[in-house]
Every structure is written in C-alpha cells, then in structure tokens.
Structure 1
Amino acid sequence: MSEYVRGEYKAPGAKLVVLEAWVSDGVIADARLSGDFFLEPDEVLEILNAALVGVSVSDRDDEIVARLNTELPRDVSMVGITPEAVVAAFRRAIPTSSRWLDYDWRLIHEKPQSPLTHMALDEVLARQVADGRRQPTLRIWEWAAPTVVLGSFQSVRNEVDVDSARRHGIDVVRRISGGGAMFIEPGNTITYSLYAPPELVSGMSFIDSYAFLDDWVLGALRDVGITAWYEPINDITSAEGKVAGAAQKRLADGTVLHHVTMAYDIDADKMLDVLRIGREKLAKKGTRSANKRVDPLRRQTGLAREVIVDTLIDHFAGRYGLRPDRPSESEHDRAERLVSDKFATEDWLHRVP
C-alpha cells in the first residue's frame, strides 16, 4: 500500500516547488510536481514526474539529481526550479525530513571572549552537535579584542599587512571555515554561528544552503527597517551596500557550522590599512571609500548595536523557538585545549603562508 506524502521547498529568492508523491516500501510509485516556477517546453513537467518514479528514500541526493538531469531535454528552460530544489522538496516530504521546528534550538550569548577562544568554541560546539551531545545552537559572539579572522585557506601575507595590524594592536587568527577575511573591532560588528544537523539542509546544494540558513536574518533586518537580500554565494546586501558575509564548514558527517559577520560601524580607513585584499577590491572597482562596499548597520538603522542583536534573537525565537543556554564546563575546557594545541600555534596560523 502506498503512502501519500507532500513536501515544499523554496530557496530564498526562488520559486515554490511542491512535490506530492505516493511512496511504497520507501520507493516513489507516483509523483506530481507543482509550483509557481517556469518550465519550457511544457512536457518537461511530466518528464520530471516520470523520472521521480523509482527513486528510493535511501538514494543519495547527488544520485537523484543526476537521474533528473539525465532525463531533461537539451533545450529545457527552467526558472525558479532546479533538480536540487526537487530533491529538497522530496526530502521534506519523506518521514525523515527535517525542519527548523524539529529541533530544540539553544541560544548562547556570553560575555566577550578572545578571538582565539571564539575560533575554538566554533569547532567544539559543532562537534558536540555532530556527536549528539548538544542541541542545535545559535551563538551570538561578543568580541574582547580587535582582530582579523582569516578563512581556512587564505594566505597571511596576501591578505594582511602584518606591520599595520601590529601598529593598530590587531591580532590575526585563522578559523576552520573557508571564505574571506573578517575585520573585527569590539562593538563594531555582529557575529553569530549556527551549529545545525545535516538533515536541516538535506537535498540542498552548498550554495542554496547559505541563503536557506540566513533567511531568518533577512526577516530580522526587515524588523529594523532594512530590506536585504542574499547575493550569491555568501553576501547579505541592501540597496545601501553590503551588510554581512557568511562562511561554512561541514564536518565529516555533514553537520553544519554556519557563521556570519555583520558590519555595524566599521572604521574603513583602519580596515584598508590592515587588509591588503580590501585595497585591491576597492581599486578594481574604482572605489575610494570602503563605505561604498560595507555599509554599516548603524547608518542604515540609527539603532544601537544592542537593539539590533536583541532583534535578531527575538526574530529567531519567534520563528523557531530558542532556549537560553551556555557552553558546559567540559566544552569550555575543550576550547581552551584547542586554543593552545591548535589555534594559537604558528603552524595553524601560517598553514597557508
């Protein structure tokens, strides 16, 4: 006997994809796709429906995507729908699907920590979620010192003017996720991390997961008067300029560490004095001031940083629920060991000279 299931998926900025399916012994016996997307020629819809028949809940996402791509005609035009979006709708239809509300989200918002401690806590808390020792968590960072945070694969000498950083009293650290450098001053940035199980982003491409995990932030920014959107791959921007940048690290089991730094009141001159890459990007764009690239939240809202942070927390809690929490003593101990054994070492900082 077949079981009727239904799943919906809408990547931020894309169209709604709805999958209704009849599943027998874990295999799709019949499928019907619908939504507000565009497909040409019309018969592609039935091609996709037919291609889904025989798909098993145990099939890997990339296998299903390849199956759908194989059946698509060469002249197909798809707007607002992709094979990856179809798979995401499928994963939300089957009993093992995952939604934000499936989890007991926890909030960590502690006193200011050193940059090295933040790097270590990110790794520790992500691994705790992966091991089932911690519920999925939102952590708001508070910074105890100015710093430049390099992406995992960035070159120190290519990204940072070390002499200028030393002159300004700014340390350089390296995180475990990829992406670009973050220029941090206490009180002038808002940083947060999400530690989420792999099921939350099941069926999504890496790029789609960025926008999906930060969709709640766009809602929170609307609450403070900013209309923002995602600029692929990993920027949040508004009509007045860039607001934030995101980075991700996937652990071996697929657990997601997703973190974002938002500009509240950046000292553009100091940033350009310290970051080499910032100078190059601005020169290529013919831009004389960083303010045209990274527009601070203070200028766009007129609100205190604490008000914006509270709005972020309240919006997340209103959507998904959020319970106050803190790192356990053992989590803090592990972070301290990681600082001394990894993040504070020259080998880690200069793993890419």
Structure 2
Amino acid sequence: MHGEYKVPGGKLVVVDLDVEGGALRNVRVAGDFFLEPDEAIEAIDAALEGAPANTDTAGLAARIEAALPGSTVMLGLSAEGVAIAVRRALAQATEWSDYDWQLIHEAPQSPALHMALDEVITAEVAAGLRPPTLRVWEWDSPAVIIGSFQSLRNEVDPAGVERHGVNVVRRISGGGAMFAEPSSTITYSLAVPQSLVSGLSFADSYAYLDDWVLEALADMGIKAWYQPLN
C-alpha cells in the first residue's frame, strides 16, 4: 500500500507498507523533508512496524513521538504528518495527479446561479459524471453568502441589504457568512472525489485542499497563510 501527504506549509511524506494479520508490516517512510539525526527515520519505521492497522492518526503519531530520539529535529515534517500518510495508505487514497482536472472560469454570474452551480457540480463529481473540478467564480453583483446551517434572521440585516442592493444567498456547505462583490473578491471551489481526502480528518482536509493556493501565491511573491476553521 502506498500513501502520500503534503504537510501544509511543509514537505511531502510518502509511506509504503503492507498489512498482515491486521498489523502494519514492512513500513518505509520517505519524502523530501529534513530530519536529524539520520537514525530518526529508522526509529519512525520501527515505531510503526507492528501497529494495529486500525490505529487512528493520534495513536500513530503518539507511537512515533515516543520512539524519536530526544535530539530529533524535523523540518517540513511532523509525527502527525507521517501518521496521516499512513492512514491515507490504508484508505488507498488517491492523489492530485491521479485525475484529469476540469477548470471552469466563466464570465461574471449572479450569486444565485453560483450557488446552483456549486450544488450541481458537486453532485455530478460525487456521482462520477464529471471529473474533479476547479471553478473560479466571478460575481456580477454584491452578495452576502450564508452557511447552510446559519439563521438568516441572525446573520443579515434585511433593511441594510435592500438599501445597498446586496443579494443574500445560502450555500450548500457550512461555515460563516461572507461578503463578496465584483472585482474585489477572489472565490473558487473544488469538487473532488472522496478518495482524494481519504485518511484525513474533516478539518485536515481543508488545509490539504488549500495548500496548492498558498504555493501558487508564493510563486507570485505573495505571502499568504491558511486560516484554520474557527
């Protein structure tokens, strides 16, 4: 089994392993990270060898941390990152490069149409009717977008949005309200198969799916960072 995980803001962790009798066997951890002393990589492999295959991410990370020499220095790597790579191997997770992606970047659309497209594209990708899709949104009018579980009454001032000509729409995903307007908001959405985030927690999947944006911005000289869910 083979699993990979790009540590957010860090390096790539690669794990190859077998499962025999419900336990991890022949575990080998590799990647483009930096690790001192050299023996630490052997300690990581040994810590994972024989671990029950149903051990969760926290349990695997704890085994690794307990086995590392006290002088260990990790750069671009973490015990949790290795553990996630293991879980992704066990879940037979797919990688970004396993797919032919579709890019959608159309002319500005209405807020209501954006919400409808988001729902339809997500459903089609989930059903296997469309490849994984990156869609860049352009807005034709200002809007407040509330999360799927938010209360309209508690989040929006009806008189205010009417006075300023702001549309109010509800998206299919959770989270808080956001404001968007033409030419001043960069919005995108990813619709991906479940297998791309297999082995990741709900919170970790957000950081994993956003990491490419940070790298792209860094290539343009823009220092950006990921803000975790709050």
Superposed pair shares fold, TM > 0.5: yes
- The question of whether the paired residues in 2 share the 8 Å contact of 1:126 and 1:195 is answered with yes
Contact in 1 for aligned 2:134/2:190 (Cα 8 Å): yes
1:332-351 equivalences in 2 (<5 Å): none
Corresponding letter in the other structure for 1:99? E
Residue 201 (structure 1) aligned to one of 178, 197, 211: 197
Could you tell me how far apart the structure 2 residues matched to 1:154 and 1:38 are? 47
Task: Provide the rounded CA distance (Å) in 2 between the counterparts of 1:30 and 1:87.
Answer: 15
What SS is found at the alignment partner of 1:31? strand
Instruction: Report the counterpart of residue 49 of structure 1 in structure 2.
Output: 48
- Residue matched to 2:78: 81
Question: 1:158 and 2:166 equivalent?
Answer: no
Over 3 Å counting, the alpha-carbon distance change for 1:215 and 1:203 in structure 2 is same
What's the counterpart of residue 241 of structure 1? none
Secondary structure of 1:179's aligned partner: coil
Alpha-carbon distance in structure 2 between the residues aligned to 1:24 and 1:87: 18
Partner of 1:31: 27
CA apart distance, 1:103: 0.5
Relative to structure 1, is the Cα distance of residues 195 and 73 closer, same or farther in structure 2, using a 3 angstrom cutoff?
A: closer
Report the equivalent of 1:232. 228
Do the aligned partners of 2:18 and 2:26 also contact (CA within 8 Å) in 1?
yes
1:145 corresponding residue in structure 2 = 141
- Paired with 2:2 and 2:34, the residues of 1 have a C-alpha distance of 16
1:202-281 superposed matches below 5 A: 202-233=198-229
Say if 1:137 and 1:196, in contact at 8 Å, map to a contact too. yes
CA deviations 1:168-191 (Å, max 9, x no partner) are 011211111111211111222121
C-alpha displacement of 1:26: 8.9
Code of the residue aligned with 1:81 in structure 2: it is: S
Distance in 2, Cα, partners of 1:36 & 1:18: 13
Give the counterpart letter for 2:60 in structure 1: L
Q: CA RMSD in A?
A: 3.5
Instruction: State the Cα deviation string for residues 107-162 of structure 1 (Å, max 9, x = none).
Output: 11222222111111111110101111111111111222211001122232332222
| Per-residue deviation, 1:225 | 2.7
Indicate the larger mover: 29-38 or 155-164.
29-38
Question: Secondary structure in 1 aligned to 2:176?
Answer: coil
- 1:146 to 1:207, Cα distance in 2 relative to 1, 3 A: same
- Cα deviation code 1:261-300 (max 9, x no counterpart): xxxxxxxxxxxxxxxxxxxxxxxxxxxxxxxxxxxxxxxx
Q: One-letter code of the match for 1:201?
A: V
Which consecutive unaligned segments of at least 5 residues does structure 1 have? 235-353
Q: Deviations over 1:187-208 (max 9, x none)?
A: 2212111100111112122222
* Partner residue in 1 for 2:183: 187
Q: Could you tell me how far 1:24 is from its partner in structure 2?
A: 5.6
Q: Which residue of 2 aligns with 1:120?
A: 116
- Greater mean alpha carbon deviation, residues 74-83 or residues 8-17: 74-83
Distance in 1 of aligned mates of 2:21 and 2:186? 48
Gaps of 5+ in 2: none
